[in-house]
Amino acid sequence: MTTREPVADLAVVGLGPAGRALAHRATAAGLDVVAVDPHPDRRWTPTYAAWCDELPGWLDGHAVAAARVEQPRVWTTREHVLARPYCVLENDALRAALDLGSARVLAGTAADVEPDRVILRDGSRLRARQVIDARGARPARGLAEQTAYGVVVSGEAAVPIVGDGEAWFMDWRADNGAAPDETPSFLYAVPLGHDRVLLEETCLVGRPGLSQEVLRTRLESRLRARRVPVAANGERERVRFPVQVPRAAGVTATFGARAGIMHPGTGYSVAAALSAVDGLVGAILDDDDPTAALWPPAARAVRGLREVGLRALLRLPPPLTTEFFEAFFDLPAGRQHAYLSERADPVAVGLAMAAVFRRAPNPVRRTLARAALPTINPRRGSRPRPR
């Protein structure tokens, strides 16, 4: 058994975007950091994107963007143009920007993660004043999840999809072969840079999400309907991740998607983690509780409101999906921004949700109202719906 046991101010377990950002900012703040990941040099393959204004000031957004879309579009029952720039991130550039500086990096798999110690599968033990688990969230039975299947085509091949615009943030048109009463999915079409465009059929949320086979069939139907050629040996992307995390009973601090920082209604977490990391580093420097720093009462309140929104999406009858998003994307830009991006302003998020309710047709309102009500137990009164 290996007995090495380096001591550090901070041990970061997992070097995806959130963990790497934490190690990067912590070393920049002068902390002694050790980082552990089974494959610390492995390239990131998922497509990461963010609203450009969500990226923190310390990160050069232009340097890490593979493509920037000034006015992404949405199709519900008609076209909506969003006056908010959207960035598709270039993974290698993002990794390079999040350099690990003086951090000690160990290739290994954590078998046990405790508040001040990490035990690896090979028996190695790492001690630190603070351990943060940033290993991401994995799909699990009973958790709502997002799934997607995509192909990468040339800019020329994508013209029948994007037309004169730059991207579709969501395209809910019914040309993917799905029946009206089936779980809906939408087309996500964004440039990746270097004359490459990702065309992806996405199940926004499901319990479980649509399978890769169903999404592949729908995407192929949609692309045939729009006469988009796809090379047989072209690049593919398969996506599956939870938009919920279990309420952990452990005492080890977490960060990134593992901490529940992911937006349950969109699946986005990278920009939120990048923006929240300095508050977490500050708590570690001050010997404060990192979980309390990451989740002050206002952020917990916002998370609760967004979980109501998630329940509404899960309960929404498929034929009403486009009506719901029609109401949402008819909101003023500030209201949209609040729901999509505000992490610690429950008033703004609540006002956005109330505005959707006012604009939505009555059948959608009924679903939203039911999602907001707790389950009633006649013996024990009101309590949250079990998950």
According to DSSP, the residues that pair with 191 across neighbouring strands are 197
CA atoms of 245 and 256, how far apart (whole Å) = 11
Place of tokens 């994007």: 162
By DSSP bridging, strand 196-206 and strand 375-377 are unpaired
Which one, of 32, 250, 34, lies nearest residue 126 by Cα?
A: 34
Which one, of 258, 250, 340, 336, lies nearest residue 294 by Cα?
A: 258
Query: What is the largest distance, in Å, between two alpha-carbon atoms of the chain?
Result: 65
Q: Note the pLDDT of residue 7.
A: 81
Query: Is the C-alpha dihedral spanning 241, 245, 248, 253 positive or negative?
Result: positive
Containing 66, the helix (H) or strand (E) segment is strand 65-69
Average pLDDT along the chain, 387 residues, taken 10 residues at a time: 66 98 98 97 96 96 95 96 97 97 95 94 94 91 94 96 93 96 97 96 96 98 96 94 78 93 93 97 96 96 95 95 97 97 96 97 95 54 33
**Predicted TM-score of the model (pTM):** 0.92
Q: Note the pLDDT of residue 141.
A: 85
Query: Is the C-alpha dihedral spanning 271, 47, 248, 341 positive or negative?
Result: positive
- The single-letter code of the amino acid at 34 is V
Q: Note the pLDDT of residue 5.
A: 57
Q: Note the pLDDT of residue 251.
A: 86
Residue 101 and residue 27 in contact, taking contact as beta carbons nearer than 8 Å? yes
Place of tokens 């969109």: 266
By DSSP bridging, strand 104-107 and strand 33-37 are parallel
Report DSSP state, residue 387.
-
Query: Is the C-alpha dihedral spanning 342, 202, 261, 66 positive or negative?
Result: negative
Place of tokens 């139907």: 221
Q: Note the pLDDT of residue 374.
A: 64
Number of Cβ within 10 Å of residue 222's Cβ equals: 23
CA atoms of 183 and 180, how far apart (whole Å) = 8
Q: Note the pLDDT of residue 6.
A: 54
Pair of tokens at residue 153: 């085509």
Which one, of 356, 300, 305, lies nearest residue 331 by Cα?
A: 356
Q: Is 194 helix (H, G, I), strand (E, B) or coil?
A: coil
- DSSP alpha helix (H) spans, the chain: 17-28, 61-64, 91-97, 159-162, 212-225, 270-285, 290-294, 297-315, 321-329, 333-341, 346-359, 362-372
